[in-house]
């Protein structure tokens, strides 16, 4: 839920050295993706393209419900939900204000 709100994903480079040694026929590997199929420049039904992405280490601000060691969606008394995430150190009142502004824009 919260992960979908992250917006600074970066491609994770693939270590071609080890993978290329183990690659079988119809497996094509470069630093950006692994392609399973006859020809990466001519896609066919059933071919598979695999990429990896990460969000770089950094500070995030989250509003939700903490249970043990995880944060989940907070359910309000009227069955609403709260799950806010912003990158950086953001004051909770600012996060609620932004969420309110976004909600108003969506309901107009």
**DSSP result, 68-99:** TTEEEPEEPTTS-EE-EEEES---HHHHHHHH
Tell me whether residue 38 is in a domain.
Answer: yes
Tokens representing 13?
């480079």
Q: First vs last Cα of the chain: how many Å apart?
A: 25
Q: For residue 43, what are the domain limits?
A: 10-54
Q: What is the mean pLDDT of residues 94-107?
A: 81
Q: Do 74 and 33 belong to one domain? A: no
Tell me whether residue 1 is in a domain.
Answer: no
Cβ burial of 35 (10 Å; 0-12, 13-18, 19+) is buried
The pLDDT value given to residue 23: 62
What are 4-40's pLDDT values in tens digits?
777 778 888 877 666 666 666 788 888 788 888 889 8
Q: What is the pTM of this model?
A: 0.57
Which H helix or E strand runs over 102?
A: helix 92-107
User: Looking at the 3D structure of the chain, how many domains does it have?
Assistant: 2
Q: Do 26 and 63 belong to one domain? A: no
Q: Do 49 and 63 belong to one domain? A: no
Tell me whether residue 62 is in a domain.
Answer: yes
Q: Do 80 and 49 belong to one domain? A: no
Q: Do 46 and 84 belong to one domain? A: no
Which pLDDT band holds residue 101 (cuts at 50, 70, 90)? confident
């Amino acid at each position: 839920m919260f992960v979908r709100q992250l917006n600074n994903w970066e491609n994770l480079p693939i270590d071609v050295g080890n993978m290329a040694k183990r690659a079988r026929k119809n497996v094509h590997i470069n630093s950006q993706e692994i392609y399973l199929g006859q020809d990466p420049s001519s896609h066919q039904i059933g071919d598979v393209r695999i990429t990896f992405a990460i969000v770089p280490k950094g500070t995030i601000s989250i509003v939700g419900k903490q249970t043990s060691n995880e944060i989940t969606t907070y359910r309000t008394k009227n069955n609403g939900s709260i799950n806010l995430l912003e990158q950086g150190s953001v004051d909770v009142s600012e996060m609620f204000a932004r969420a309110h502004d976004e909600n108003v824009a969506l309901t107009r």
